[in-house]
Amino acid sequence: MRLIALLFAFAAAQALAHNPSDSYLGLVVDGPSIEGQWDIALRDLEVVVGLDANGNGEISWGEVRASHAAIASYALARLTLRSGASACPARVTGLLVDEHGDGTFAVLRFVATCPDSVTKLDVDYTLLFDVDPQHRGLLRLEHAGATRTAIFSPERSRQSFELAQPSRWQQFLDYGREGVWHIWIGFDHILFLLSLLLPAVLRRTNGRWEPVEAFSPAFWNVFGIVTAFTVAHSITLSLATLGAVALPSRLVEPAIALSVVLAALNNLRPMFYARRWVVAFLFGLVHGLGFANVLKELGLPQGALALALVGFNLGVEAGQLVIVGAFLPVAFLLRGTAFYRQVVFFGGSALIVLVAGIWVVERSLDVQLAIFAAATRPTVGSYDNMRDMLVIASAVRTAKMVVEPLHHPTAVIYSLAALRGQPPPPTRHLLRATLVTRTWWRAMECPTLSATS
Amino acid sequence: MRTVRLFAAVAPAAALLLAPATVAAPYVPKDDATVLERLPLKPTDPLGRELRELRARLAAQPDDLDAAVTIGRHYFRLAMSEGDPRFIGYAEVALRPWARSKEPPRNVLVLRALLRKYRHDFAGALDDLAAAAASDPSDAEVWLWRAAILLVQADYVGAMSACDPLRARGESLDWIGCKSSVEGVTGGAERAHASLSEGLARGRGVRAGPRLWMLSRLAEFSLVLGETDRAERHFKEALSLGVSDQFLLAAYADFLLDRGRPQEVVTLLKDWTRSDPLLLRLALAEKVLGAPVLEEHVRTLKSRFDAAAMRGDKLHQQEEARFDLYLLGQRPRALALAKENWTLQREPRDARILLEAALAANDPKAAQPVLDWLARTGYQDPYLRRLAARLGNSRP
């Protein structure tokens, strides 16, 4: 006994083969709801809940899963979240596992709901303190983009956190930024707008496109279209956000793609030249519904709905104005060139028709995908659905095969010229066209791919 | 020179850390049979069974002091052998009803001192030991612990006087072990080696555990004397006892690293990645060898040190300073850690890392406390003496 003591006493330093018992508690506060993730070491849970059911000294995933309810109720009984004076009851949403520096942890996900938006969060943490006073709860608290940390110990098991409320102005700016961002990465909106703007610097006389003489008609033309589009999407965006109208995105998204096809087709075969603002208005209504879905995904702040709505909408307008501001002067300068009319106007419009056409098919396919999900269950009659699926999939593939050669736009330009019974354009135009369409194509590829996935 | 060579290889390691680390994400295992964790004590383990029975006894009779102290002792030993601080917490809980009273029973005081020492609460541990010695000065364990703590704090006079009461019982191994431990760091390594090897030769019936401890010390004393071949013989004999001991492995790994034999370190430690001190030595060897697994080991160590820092633990500062210096190349941080560590612990290896960090950061002033310590103790280790001389030369 004594020699053992000697052995331990003079052991130069502790063998720290393990980290001490820690749990990692992550809380993300958003309005009245608190999203939680709590990582607790399986070695600790074994002591208090008893996971090793078969007593072989090993903890398997099956044993952890079987103890899900016991783990959840044990843990949540030792964590009290309060917002001011009112409790925020928590509900477990999932059980996973994760490795930390030392050992495997059970990962408990939960959602706590407070009656009101949380301004002061009280956390009462008592996990494991009764069996291991050296246990520590490491908290990571996120709120409004800010993160702070805290440590719970038996001496400090109850802590309060004042949550700074984001200023209204900041919130407004945040949503505005989202609006700008959305219009810039939303290729369908940009293409729609461009399709309507491309003819603005041209004039249709006797079935031919001629450049406009002065800037002012082009400007007012653009002004009218952009205003109509803006007014229209503002109306539906507001109505949808306030819950007055509701259309599922699986209908809205293909409709938006269709609007792009029609707007670009109108440049190739004019159907409604003079009243393009009407087109902008009508389809703008559909685009507004699309914006509303984005805004819903972003999440709307409680009590600041109007603020978010106006901010987002103004952001969309600002983003739009930048695009128009960049397009109009360049288009006006180039309006008299064959390059503008042949390549930008016709070539561009044709390309838009093709790309947006693929979107129409792909986005409609998402509707089919729901059926496909049902069809994968082995039920009688699923064969027909499967066959439909295959037909649509091969249609998409064919469409892509048509678009693929656009890497070599010479073919397209020759075909367009042939269609209109004109001689092919000189080679230098073709070279320029190659550059332009390649750039376009690269830009188009991303949304095409993401719409499929 | 070796130090310089280590630095030359630091840059790539630092670059590794800057590369985006693969962030672990929670997952759902595919198979119910996936084993996620192995428990330190199998339920069939006799110690596990005994602990269960004792806990049941204590639950039935919460005032059963003997049961509580036995449980605490078992957990303390598990903490030492498994290297898992959880068991220290479990031991504390077993003692809690008595530890909270104004005058805890003597055996509770002794055990609480050990728990406090484990957590580096040296002052609290010394208080408990003093109170325990006052009620029964004949308990050798109390004096051994007192000597050990004072040794860590570099109070060699105090440590030697704590060894003295053990002498009253004749030339016991306790007395020899205690005395030679103090002598070994105060310029008397020769004498310490002689008396401890004589003690080892006499105590033929000594069990493997204490034998291993004595051999490790003999190896240490030999190194201090510059007798590397003899040190290696002691290490090898200790390793041949078949008891796996982390202190011995760490000391032998350091020996091999210092002699430029990293491949042997990898062979020795490849299955010890769960232990921070041993993983550190493994990584140091892998760095010299340019092993691809180094990146992963550095990341694991980093996450463990970060977790400790988040808790506010200061148990690993010496190891962390070494990690920062040789694996991350963060010299100022390594020096800060080594300096703070020296205020808490003053053993030869604490001295060494402070000297190395001060040299690397070109800050000889920071090493002044260690230079004073070397002058005061007459500690003979040639390597430390060389480092000190280099620091002395680099002084402006």
Note the pLDDT of residue A27: 94
Given a contact cutoff of 8 angstroms between Cβ atoms, the answer to whether B174 and B162 are in contact is no
Residues of B in Cβ contact (< 8 Å) with A42: 36-37
CB contact under 8 A, B276 and A104: no
Q: What is the pTM of this model?
A: 0.62
**What's the pLDDT score for residue A71?**
94
Confidence of residue B9 (pLDDT cuts 50, 70, 90): very low
- Ranked by mean pLDDT, which of A264-273, B36-45, B255-264 comes out on top? B255-264
The verdict on a CB contact (< 8 Å) between A14 and B311 is: no
Residue type (1 letter), A48: V
- In sequence order, what are the residues at sequence separation of 6 or more whose Cβ sits closer than 8 angstroms to the Cβ of residue A196? A225, A229, A263, A276, A279, A280
The closest alpha carbon to B255, from B278, B279, B235, belongs to B235
- In a 13 Å sphere around the CA of A244, the CA atoms on its Cβ side amount to 6
Instruction: Provide the residue ranges of all domains of chain B, joining segments of one domain with +.
Output: 45-136, 156-237
Q: Which of residues 306-365 of B touch A (CB under 8 A)?
A: 307-308, 310-313, 315-316, 318-319, 345, 347, 349
pLDDT digits (tens, 9 = 90+) for A313-336: 888 888 888 888 888 888 888 888
pLDDT for res A160: 92
β-strand A202-205 against A208-211: which pairing, if any? Answer: antiparallel
pLDDT at position A298 is 67
Average pLDDT (B181-191) is: 93
Q: Which residue has the tokens 């135009």?
A: A429
Q: Is the pLDDT of residue A449 over 70?
A: no
Å between A83 CA and nearest CA of chain B: 26
Which residues from chain A sit within 8 angstroms of residue B315, using beta carbons?
Answer: 14, 16
Q: Closest Cα partner for B88 from A212, A16, A70, A50?
A: A16
User: Where do the structural domains in chain A lie, given as residue ranges?
Assistant: 19-162, 168-336, 338-453
Distances (CA, A) of A369 to A366, A376, A393: 5, 10, 11
pLDDT at A422: 55
Per mean pLDDT, which of A166-170, A404-408, A412-416, B234-238 is the most reliable? B234-238
Q: How far apart are alpha carbons B317 and B309 in whole angstroms?
A: 10
List Cα–Cα distances, A206 to A196, A203, A213, B23, B325, in angstroms: 20, 10, 17, 65, 82
State pLDDT tens for residues A94-126.
999 998 767 899 999 999 999 888 888 999 999
Write the CB contacts of B20 (distance below 8 Å, at least 6 apart in sequence).
none
Give the CA distances from residue A425 to residues A119, A152, A193, A330, A428, in Å, rounded to whole numbers and listed in that order.
68, 76, 28, 22, 8
Number of cross-chain residue pairs from A and B with Cβ atoms under 8 Å apart: 203
Nearest CA to B121 among B105, B137, B138, B99? B99
Among B residues 5-24, those touching chain A with beta carbons less than 8 Å apart: 24
- Cite the DSSP H helix spans in B207-327: 208-224, 228-239, 246-258, 262-269, 276-289, 294-311, 317-323
Residues of B in contact with A22 (CB under 8 A): 307, 310-311
Which of B27, B39, B345, B349 to mutate to test binding with chain A, by most A CBs within 10 Å of its CB?
A: B39
Ordered DSSP codes for A62-94: HHHHHTHHHHHHHHHTTEEEEETTEE--EEEEE
The span from the CA of A293 to the CA of A363, in Å, is: 15
The verdict on ipTM greater than 0.90 is no
B140 falls in which pLDDT band (50, 70, 90)?
Answer: confident
Using an 8 Å CB-CB cutoff, list chain B residues near A20.
85-86, 89, 308, 311, 313
pLDDT confidence band for A442 (50 / 70 / 90):
very low
For the stretch A317-339, what's the b/e string if a residue is b when 16 or more beta carbons lie within 10 angstroms of its beta carbon? bebbeebbeebbeebbebbeeeb
| Beta-carbon separation of A131 and B90 below 8 A | yes
Contacts of A100 in chain B (CB under 8 A): 24, 303, 307
Among chain A residues, CA nearest to B116: A134
A138 pLDDT more than 70: yes
pLDDT, residue B312, reads 76
Scored b (16 or more CB within 10 A) or e, B114-134 reads bbbbbbbebeebbebbebbbe
Question: In Å, how far is A252's CA from the nearest CA of chain B?
Answer: 35
Tell me how far apart the alpha carbons of residues A207 and A421 are, in angstroms, rounded to a whole number: 14
Q: What topology does CATH give the domain B45-136?
A: 1.25.40
Count the Cβ atoms, other than its own, within 10 Å of residue A426. 9
